């Protein structure tokens, strides 16, 4: 006992107190008892494998924790993935909406707060542009007005997006949504441009002056004047051709200007309300509700489709008593409608018109028009001809172009134009043949292409590049003359000036290298009613022909993108939404 106490004292060290030394054996005994009790209870309640020898336990554990591989990857949580996709779509949607709203607001601010303009040098050449159609506006849009004194003359102080004009006749689109004021366009040019709301009545080619007349209802003290020019661009378009058929100009409606669309809209509702008048005769109702369209081109086809939609979607719901008597007839002198489209799309259009109960009379020539009927000659497949009388309430003439008087007068002054019949003959640079300082674009020019808005727009853009290059060429030539005159003024600088002259001459050769105009056909579009459209679009080395409801959405997006400004796009979009929600407006005015 004494030896064990001495051993404990040696282990504990001198720090242990005598009392602590006495408590060590008791504490050690208690810990041994507790460990024995715990071990026995753990063995009692442990798993069977825990009571096995250690070698067997390791084998069991290795089998339990062995890495295994599944036959396929675990399925991802579908709900979480869908939620994540919708979350990103929602973010993309509202960010796009916010971005679009911000862009529209910014564009409106820029339109309302244009930068200051400066007056061009009066010593520069005067460039006069006649008309505010597709060709003239495309020229103005890309022309650098700093290089010339630009003057625009037109009786129409706005640009009209003509492809959507048929939609204005039925209230699908308001007419001001497809109009862009010319002064709004000119105000955003760097150099100021003069505009005269007048009609050019005569061009004196020898004196290089243009006679203009104020044809507005309110006139000042000066109603006629002359405008001199150094360079002239004629973009006055064409008139409606009647082909000398009696009664066409007196009794039919045309579809070229805003006032034409307004007149057609008024007459449509006049026919409808008169047909609904009390105790109206059945034959008279049938006549009033028979709408005849002459011309199977895109304008005539789109107007017929819009007219059918107007009655099916709106008039039939508001005046169901007479709606079933409504009828649309399309007259075309050629063997088929839409001759510029592929055969596949022509057949699709004709079958769609048949479903919509729009009658197509091809190989039919109008011979006479009265206030209530059309006399026409139909050529049957066997070659026989039949004269028919077609009663109508509304007649729309949507075919043919004729020369304006100012173009005819100019052609009579130029000997090189004596053989031209359809307009001013131009060369590959749009220069009027027989002149050096007159160019022509659009329907008044004969360049070997179809008279369409697409052709006129590309011609105007080509002329803008040509005029910009001409101004650069003149500036470079003046610089070469100036350098050449200073060549021997300062001793020792001959080599330096000579090198600069060579550099300017290289730039001059590149600037003069202007390729002739070449039309690039982007495709043809036409709306055929019932929210269907046809498209013949150029793609790579061929064309893609399509038709149906998906093409209708493409037609809308294409026309929307071709609108002149963001303002027009917003207004047209709002008109489409309004018509879809509330229907077309059936008021007379």
Can you tell me the distance from the alpha carbon of 99 to that of 115, in angstroms, rounded to the nearest whole number? 24
pLDDT score for 3? 46
At 502, is the pLDDT very low, low, confident or very high (cuts 50, 70, 90)? confident
pLDDT score for 9? 43
Can you tell me the distance from the alpha carbon of 442 to that of 455, in angstroms, rounded to the nearest whole number? 7
Can you tell me the distance from the alpha carbon of 386 to that of 354, in angstroms, rounded to the nearest whole number? 22
Can you tell me the distance from the alpha carbon of 426 to that of 460, in angstroms, rounded to the nearest whole number? 14
- The mean pLDDT value for 474-502 works out to 68
Nearest to 180 by CA among 192, 188, 172: 188
Can you tell me the distance from the alpha carbon of 9 to that of 20, in angstroms, rounded to the nearest whole number? 10
- Two tokens at 277? 């008048």
**Which CATH topology does 118-238+403-510 take?**
FAD/NAD(P)-binding domain (3.50.50)
Look at residue 347 and tell me whether its pLDDT is greater than 80. yes
In three-state secondary structure terms, 212 is strand
Look at residue 34 and tell me whether its pLDDT is greater than 80. no
pLDDT score for 587? 86
Question: One fold for both 118-238+403-510 and 248-398+521-582?
Answer: yes
User: Look-up: residue for tokens 């789109």?
Assistant: 302
pLDDT digits (tens, 9 = 90+) for 421-456: 899 999 999 999 999 999 999 999 999 898 999 999
pLDDT score for 36? 43
List residues bridging with 225 in a β-sheet: 212
Can you tell me the distance from the alpha carbon of 117 to that of 98, in angstroms, rounded to the nearest whole number? 32
Asked if residues 333 and 364 have their Cβ atoms less than 8 Å apart, the reply is yes
Look at residue 233 and tell me whether its pLDDT is greater than 90. yes
pTM of the entire predicted model: 0.81
Asked if residues 378 and 363 have their Cβ atoms less than 8 Å apart, the reply is yes
Percent of the chain with pLDDT over 90: 64
Can you tell me the distance from the alpha carbon of 42 to that of 589, in angstroms, rounded to the nearest whole number? 100
Q: Compute how many other C-beta atoms are within 10 angstroms of the C-beta atom of residue 189.
A: 18
pLDDT digits (tens, 9 = 90+) for 467-480: 999 888 877 777 77
Listed in sequence order, the residues at least 6 apart from 365 whose beta carbon sits closer than 8 Å to its beta carbon are 333, 376, 377, 379
What dihedral do alpha carbons 441, 445, 451, 454 form, nearest 10°? Answer: -20
**Which CATH topology does 248-398+521-582 take?**
FAD/NAD(P)-binding domain (3.50.50)
At 176, is the pLDDT very low, low, confident or very high (cuts 50, 70, 90)? very high
Nearest to 399 by CA among 305, 308, 309, 301: 301
548: left (phi over 0), alpha (psi -120 to 50) or beta: left
Percent of the chain with pLDDT over 70: 84
In three-state secondary structure terms, 403 is coil
- The mean pLDDT value for 356-362 works out to 95
| Domain positions in the chain | 80-113, 118-238+403-510, 248-398+521-582
Strand 239-240 and strand 401-402: the pairing is antiparallel
pLDDT digits (tens, 9 = 90+) for 50-93: 455 555 555 554 555 455 555 655 655 556 677 788 888 888 88
- The angle formed by the CA atoms of residues 54, 56 and 60, to the nearest 5 degrees, is 115
């Amino acid at each position: 006992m004494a030896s064990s106490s001495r051993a404990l004292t040696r282990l504990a060290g001198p720090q242990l107190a005598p009392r602590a030394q006495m408590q060590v054996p008791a504490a050690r005994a208690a810990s041994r008892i507790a460990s024995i009790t715990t071990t026995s209870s753990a063995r009692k309640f442990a798993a069977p494998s825990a009571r096995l020898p250690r070698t067997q336990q390791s084998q069991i554990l290795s089998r339990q924790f062995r890495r295994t591989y599944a036959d396929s990857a675990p399925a991802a949580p579908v709900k979480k993935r869908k939620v994540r996709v919708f979350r990103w779509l929602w973010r993309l949607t509202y960010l796009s909406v916010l971005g679009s709203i911000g862009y529209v607001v910014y564009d409106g601010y820029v339109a309302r707060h244009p930068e200051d303009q400066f007056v061009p040098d009066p010593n520069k050449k005067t460039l006069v542009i006649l008309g505010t159609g597709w060709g003239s506006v495309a020229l103005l849009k890309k022309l650098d007005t700093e290089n010339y004194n630009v003057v625009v003359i037109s009786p129409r102080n706005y640009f009209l997006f003509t492809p959507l004009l048929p939609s204005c006749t039925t209230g699908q689109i308001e007419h001001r949504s497809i109009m862009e004021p010319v002064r709004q366009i000119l105000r955003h040019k760097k150099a100021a441009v003069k505009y005269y709301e007048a009609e050019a009545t005569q061009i004196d080619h020898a004196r290089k002056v243009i006679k203009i007349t104020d044809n507005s209802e309110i006139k000042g003290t000066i109603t006629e004047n002359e405008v001199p020019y150094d360079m002239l661009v004629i973009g006055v378009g064409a008139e409606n051709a009647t082909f000398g058929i009696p009664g066409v100009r007196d009794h039919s409606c045309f579809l070229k200007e805003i006032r034409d669309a307004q007149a057609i809209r008024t007459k449509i509702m006049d026919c409808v309300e008169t047909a609904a008048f009390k105790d109206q005769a059945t034959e008279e109702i049938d006549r009033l509700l028979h709408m005849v369209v002459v011309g199977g081109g895109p304008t005539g086809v789109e107007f017929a489709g819009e007219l059918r939609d107007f009655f099916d979607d709106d008039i039939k719901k508001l005046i169901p008593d007479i709606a079933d008597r409504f009828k649309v007839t399309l007259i075309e002198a050629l063997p088929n409608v839409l001759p510029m489209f592929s055969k596949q799309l022509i057949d699709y259009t004709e079958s769609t018109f048949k479903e919509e109960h729009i009658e197509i009379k091809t190989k039919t020539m109008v011979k006479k028009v009265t206030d209530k009927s059309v006399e026409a000659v139909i050529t049957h497949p066997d070659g026989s001809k039949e004269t028919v009388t077609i009663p109508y309430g509304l007649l729309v003439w949507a075919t043919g172009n004729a020369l304006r008087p100012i173009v005819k007068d100019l052609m009579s002054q130029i000997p090189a134009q004596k053989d031209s019949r359809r307009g001013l003959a131009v060369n590959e640079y749009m220069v009027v043949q027989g002149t050096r300082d007159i160019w022509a674009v659009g329907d008044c020019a004969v360049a070997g292409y179809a008279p369409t808005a697409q052709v006129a727009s590309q011609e105007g853009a080509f002329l803008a590049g040509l005029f910009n290059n001409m101004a650069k060429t003149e500036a470079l030539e003046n610089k070469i003359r100036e350098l050449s005159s200073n060549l021997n003024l300062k001793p020792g600088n001959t080599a330096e000036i000579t090198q600069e002259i060579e550099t300017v001459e290289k730039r001059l050769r590149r600037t003069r290298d202007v390729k002739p105009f070449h039309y690039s056909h982007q495709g043809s579009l036409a709306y055929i009613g019932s929210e269907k459209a046809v498209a013949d679009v150029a793609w790579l080395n061929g064309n893609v022909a399509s038709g149906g409801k998906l093409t209708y959405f493409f037609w809308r997006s294409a026309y929307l993108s071709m609108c002149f400004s963001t303002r027009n796009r917003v207004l047209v979009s709002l008109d489409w939404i309004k018509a879809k929600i509330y229907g077309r407006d059936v008021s007379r005015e």
